Amino acid sequence: MTEPMMDDLEKRLSYLESANRRLKQLLALLGIALVLGLVAIGTLQKPSDAPVVGRTIETERLVIKDPTGKVRAVLGRHETSGSPQSQYGLFIHGKDGESEARLTDSNLHIHYDKGSANFSPISVDITEHKVKVSQLFREASRLSDMGTKQKLTKQEQDKLERLSKEFEPIAQFYLNMSGPYLELKKHPRNGETDSGSGEVHVGASAYPTIGLRAHGDKTSFSLSALKDVAGMTIRDRKGNKRVTLNVDTDNGAAMNLYDIDGKTFRAAFGNVTLETIRTGGIQKRPASSLVLFDKDGKTYWRTP
């Protein structure tokens, strides 16, 4: 490269550097001017005394669909099968088209696959089903609608009754005029015998009580408490009373054993009241008493 060419290149680089410096200075000045202008505008602008008017969107029904066109949520009026009137609330549908959640002014209802739950101000129901919940709801609603329009056949009535039994809750809590009540159930799987299946009842309706009952028969155990009185009762598979334990402020405490008929006394321990056959008088035995009865309910041994 010749020396004149080097001189020419150096002059061009010097010119570019000088132009670059001028450009930077110009941009800096523009930035400062912009900031000062914004500050001035903010200082001079006065707040408006006019009230902020909110925007209102009025609609009877808002429908939300997914990219495939399926309705996934409805806010507002919604038609539901089995209901003679439209409901207003929030309705959410699962992508499978089966599951659903409904929130209205009176309750929250959710059903998914083989289970459903219903929550209201006075009750909570949780139900488990053997088939998909949506199938049960659709068929029960169809038969119910038919029943309001025309008389069902005996076969249709039997089917509707079977379907209604499928909605029996496995857990339920509710309030009534007498008080709160809790009911828990465990059904045997696939109809098989399950010694652990049964029911539990706890509540204060109409008085505080706890009850346990086996599934498939009437074997049960219950505890109850009232003013000045508390008791325990055990019943056999036929529902006959076999053992009782009672505590009474006036009559004391006693444990009684009954015959298989559930009525005949066979043994009593504690404060036992006996009737004297000859005189017809009433005899109250002390708390340490043990009395045995024959098959006819007559006393044949006692101590002390």
pLDDT higher than 90, residue 46: no
Rounded CA-CA distance 63/103 in Å is 15
Rounded to whole angstroms, how far apart are CA atoms 212 and 202? 9
Residues of the chain with pLDDT > 70: what percent?
Answer: 73
Share of the chain above pLDDT 90, in %: 8
Contact between 143 and 156 (Cβ < 8 Å): yes
Give the count of beta carbons closer than 10 Å to the beta carbon of residue 156: 15
Tell me whether strands 171-175 and 282-284 are parallel, antiparallel or unpaired.
Answer: unpaired
Under a CB-based contact definition with an 8 Å cutoff, are residues 281 and 274 in contact? Answer: no
- Please determine, for residue 233, whether its predicted confidence score (pLDDT) is greater than 90: yes
Question: Is it the case that residue 109 has pLDDT exceeding 80?
Answer: yes
Please give the angle made by the CA atoms of 111, 112 and 116, to the nearest 5 degrees.
40
Q: Which amino acid is at 295?
A: K
User: Which has the higher per-residue pLDDT, 39 or 224?
Assistant: 224
Neighbours of 64 (CB within 10 A): 11
Between 154-166 and 133-149, two packed helices, what is the crossing angle to 10 degrees? Answer: 140
Measured CA to CA in angstroms, residue 21 lies from 11, 15, 26 at distances of 16, 10, 9
- As a whole number, the mean pLDDT across the chain is 77
Q: Mean pLDDT across the stretch 172-183?
A: 84
Residue 170 pLDDT > 80 = yes
Predicted pLDDT at 44: 47
In the numeric block, which tokens belong to residue 159? 């089917």
Q: Where are the alpha helices (DSSP H) in 101-222?
A: 133-149, 154-166
> 125-148, pLDDT tens digit by residue?
888 877 777 777 777 777 776 766
Q: State which of 83-92, 127-136, 183-192, 295-304 shows the largest mean pLDDT.
A: 295-304
User: Full-prediction pTM beyond 0.85?
Assistant: no
3 state DSSP class of 38: helix
Which residue from 263, 270, 275 is spatially nearest to 299, judged by alpha carbons?
Answer: 275
Quote the pLDDT of residue 71: 87
What local confidence, expressed as pLDDT, does residue 1 receive?
46
Task: Check pLDDT > 50 for residue 269.
Answer: yes
Band (210; pLDDT cuts 50, 70, 90): very high
pLDDT at residue number 242: 92
Cβ–Cβ contacts within 10 Å for residue 174, how many? 16
Question: pLDDT, tens digit, for every residue of 53-108?
Answer: 667 888 888 998 888 888 889 998 877 654 556 778 998 888 877 788 888 888 89
Report the distance separating Cα 221 and Cα 182, nearest Å: 16
Higher pLDDT, 168 or 193: 168
Task: Give the pLDDT confidence score for residue 53 in this predicted structure.
Answer: 63
